[in-house]
Amino acid sequence: MRHVVIGTAGHIDHGKTVLVKALTGIDCDRLPEEKKRGITIDLGFAHMEEGDLQIHFVDVPGHERLVHTMIAGASGIDMALLVVAADEGVMPQTREHLEVIRLMGVPGGAVALTKADLVDDDMLELAAAEVHELLSGTPFAGAPVVPVSARTGKGITKLRQVLVEQASKARPHLTEDRPYREAVDRVFTMAGAGTVITGTSLWGRLRAGDQVVVLPAGRQSRARRLHVHGAERDEVEAGERVAINLAGLSTNDVSRGDQVMSPGPWKATRLLTVRLELLAGAPHALDEDEEIELHALATRIPARIQRLSERPLRPGGTAIAQIGLARPLLCFPGDRFVLRRPAPVNTFAGGMILDAHLPRFHRRDAKRLGELPSVQRSAWPALLESWITRSGLGAVTVAGLAGRLGVLEPAIEAPLGRLVESGKVRTLAVKPPRLVAEHRIERLADAAREALQQRLEGQEVSAGVPARDFAASILPRPALPLADVYLEELRHRGALDIAEGMVVPAGRREHMTSRGEELTHAIEKLYRDAGLDPPSPQEVAATLKARPATVDGICAFLVRRGRLVRLEGKFLIHAEVLEEVRRSVLAWGVGSFEIGAFKERFGLTRRLAIPILGWLDSERVTLRQGSRRQVLGRKG
């Protein structure tokens, strides 16, 4: 069965509720105060069926002080039934309600000229002409206008036929590749059931027993039971008026304006980037820092205009804007909103949300807001590419992109696949995989080459830069958890190489100039030839007529490469010399020895003998026992 939601709109006392009752047999005024005063105060609901079509009515109040409630009711409707009394014609709330449903993106509907029995034909014709003039230039231009009388029944059958015809043309709801989403417009308690919420289901499908989350608070629950117009259902889908019995929550845990969704990576925000239309009838231009009230779905939030791509925005103009919210709101690209001023109260603007997670633009860059891609499905590749690019080297997961767009992951597999195939986007091999713009990695490779050159500049010889230290110098903080992945990517691209945890120039195991290579061989030979009477680095520098800092750097390099060994932090001995000492001790043929005997055997001073014995202990060749050393054997 197809489902279409029709919302009423129109001035107070023009007969919206009576008309819905005449069409459906259901009285939408349920509150005692509504019965007593004869006016609609809160949202009312009714339905009718025709073949495989089920039409859900949302009846809204017409009083000027209840426009916020009317906007809540207009959220999620597929078409509008504009109600104009023939004896009064177009009134202030007629115009405001029409602007609201237009700003909410409602594509059209029908007009009922009510109380037709109270006027003559000339007056009826005049009222119809006024309505046609009102609708001219709006999406409702050409909408059927049907004279009716709920009291006599005149035109009711005709209006019902028109609504069925219009509803059959309504665009299909988003059920595939979307999570379940429902905007809460009522919260109450039922005896024996507990907390129940009602609202218009906007996306997806939900089965009884499914897990749900109430946002923006993030409270977890379960859809214990589902009802549509009082009938229990096992499953509901987008486009229906749905009541959900929420398990484990009280009425204090849910409010009008909340949303019930399937669990997922959905995040609320306090900054919206929007396409904004300032009504031609707005009392004055709009500028940054102006305090406003934002209405989206069934909620209203104090807000402030923070950025405008064009400022000031003149009445009748459009701009891209960023709106700061007083509290978090869950919304997605394509959602509609209305702006009202708190004092004097009036509806003055509205539009579409483009992005709920774009950082705030600097004022000097505000004009660039107009460059944002469209949110239409055909533009998703460009939209996703822009999000991936803006995520920088921190990269983003598929789940993160889907959560930002408000879809299930399979919905974006195809556009992401095209971006990867085109080479514009790279997939990083982590779990879960992350996506990064190709040109971001290209820039990183250029930056890495330059940074490595600067780090090694002035050094004749270097084992390289510690990989973690180097990664921290070229990567932004959000990308640091991916340091190993990026270093490997840079190695693969030939921007650098990695040897023993050190970053070195591509294709090398170390950094070495021709002069450095010459000095390295000379220094190593000096230490090898010196045996157990090694020179200090200062003596080496004097012998080779080299800068002491250069010699220190080369000695440190030879230590890291295992060619020299630093004993007790000050003595440098060639590794092969120490290896000869090891072999000699093992071939000595004694079980233990005194320090004096060790000094005499190798011709050492005590100043050098003690560090060498410490090295033998660390290598498990000997074991200190008081003043003697026990010979253990080979290392390991």
Q: Which residues contact 450 (CB under 8 A, 6 or more apart)?
A: none
pLDDT of residue 62: 44
| E strand spans, 127-193 | 145-147, 181-190
Higher per-residue confidence, 398 vs 281: 398
Burial label, 51 (beta-carbon count in 10 A; 0-12, 13-18, 19+) = exposed
pTM of the model: 0.79
Distance from C-alpha of 170 to C-alpha of 83, rounded to nearest angstrom: 20
pLDDT of residue 633: 72
Q: Contact at 8 Å (CB) between 451 and 405?
A: no
Which range, 214-223, 239-248, 369-378, has the best average confidence (pLDDT)? 214-223
- Range 600-605 average pLDDT: 92
583 C-beta neighbours (distance < 10 Å), count: 12
pLDDT tens digit string along 570-598? 899 999 999 999 999 999 999 999 999 99
Distance from C-alpha of 71 to C-alpha of 65, rounded to nearest angstrom: 12
Structure tokens at 472: 């921290």
- Indicate the average pLDDT of the chain: 89
Closest CA to 296 of 241, 376, 351: 351
Q: Contact at 8 Å (CB) between 208 and 224?
A: yes
H or E element in which residue 537 lies? helix 537-544
Q: pLDDT > 90: what percent of the chain? A: 63
With tokens 């009280």, the residue in question is 250
With tokens 């990269």, the residue in question is 395
pLDDT reading at 424 higher than 50? yes
Question: Chain centroid to CA 15: how far?
Answer: 44
pLDDT of residue 138: 87
pLDDT bucket at 32, cuts 50 / 70 / 90: very low
- Residue 427's identity, in one-letter code, is T
Q: Contact at 8 Å (CB) between 554 and 547?
A: no
pLDDT of residue 512: 76
Q: Which residues contact 269 (CB under 8 A, 6 or more apart)?
A: 325, 328, 329, 330, 331, 356, 357
121 C-beta neighbours (distance < 10 Å), count: 9
The DSSP call for residue 174 is B
For residue 453, list its beta bridge partners. Answer: none
Structure tokens at 381: 């590749």
pLDDT of residue 61: 59
pLDDT reading at 337 higher than 80? yes
| Upper half-sphere CA count for residue 471 (Cβ side, 13 Å) | 23
25 C-beta neighbours (distance < 10 Å), count: 9
pLDDT bucket at 73, cuts 50 / 70 / 90: low
Q: Contact at 8 Å (CB) between 219 and 249?
A: yes
With tokens 């869950």, the residue in question is 330
- Range 4-14 average pLDDT: 83
Q: Contact at 8 Å (CB) between 185 and 199?
A: yes
All structural domains of the chain, each given as residue ranges with its CATH number in brackets, are 2-168 (3.40.50.300), 181-261 (2.40.30.10), 269-371 (2.40.30.10), 374-511 (no CATH), 514-631 (1.10.10.10)
With tokens 């009445």, the residue in question is 315
Structure tokens at 367: 């004009």
- Range 224-231 average pLDDT: 90
pLDDT bucket at 29, cuts 50 / 70 / 90: low
The dihedral region occupied by 544, where left means phi > 0, alpha psi between -120 and 50, and beta the remainder, is alpha
pLDDT of residue 497: 93
The three-state DSSP-derived secondary structure of 255-317 is CCCCEEECCCCCCCEEEEEEEEEECCCCCCCECCCCEEEEEECCEEEEEEEEEECCCCECCCC
Q: Contact at 8 Å (CB) between 38 and 122?
A: no
pLDDT bucket at 287, cuts 50 / 70 / 90: very high
Catalytic residue set:
13, 16-17, 63
| Upper half-sphere CA count for residue 209 (Cβ side, 13 Å) | 1
In the chain, the N- to C-terminal Cα span, in Å, equals 78
Closest CA to 360 of 412, 393, 321: 321
Higher per-residue confidence, 13 vs 496: 496
Burial label, 104 (beta-carbon count in 10 A; 0-12, 13-18, 19+) = buried
Structure tokens at 2: 């197809």
The three-state DSSP-derived secondary structure of 181-228 is EEEEEEEEEECCCEEEEEEEEEECEEECCCEEEEECCCEEEEEEEEEE
Distance from C-alpha of 164 to C-alpha of 142, rounded to nearest angstrom: 17
Give the gyration radius of the chain's Cα atoms.
Answer: 39
pLDDT tens digit string along 444-483? 999 999 999 999 887 778 888 999 999 999 999 999 999 9
- Range 289-295 average pLDDT: 92
Q: At what angle do helices 16-24 and 156-168 cross, to 10 degrees?
A: 80
- Residue 360's identity, in one-letter code, is R
DSSP string, 336-402: EEEEEEETTEEEEEEEEEEESSPPPPPGGGGGGGGGPPP-SGGGHHHHHHHHHHHTGGG-EEHHHHH
pLDDT reading at 280 higher than 70? yes
Burial label, 117 (beta-carbon count in 10 A; 0-12, 13-18, 19+) = middle
pLDDT tens digit string along 509-561? 877 778 888 888 999 999 999 999 999 999 999 999 988 988 888 898 899 88
Structure tokens at 560: 């890291």
pLDDT of residue 303: 96
* Pairing between β-strand 79-85 and β-strand 2-9 as defined by DSSP bridges: parallel
Q: Which residues contact 239 (CB under 8 A, 6 or more apart)?
A: 2, 3, 4, 5, 56, 78, 173, 200, 201
With tokens 């509901």, the residue in question is 236
With tokens 């800068």, the residue in question is 547
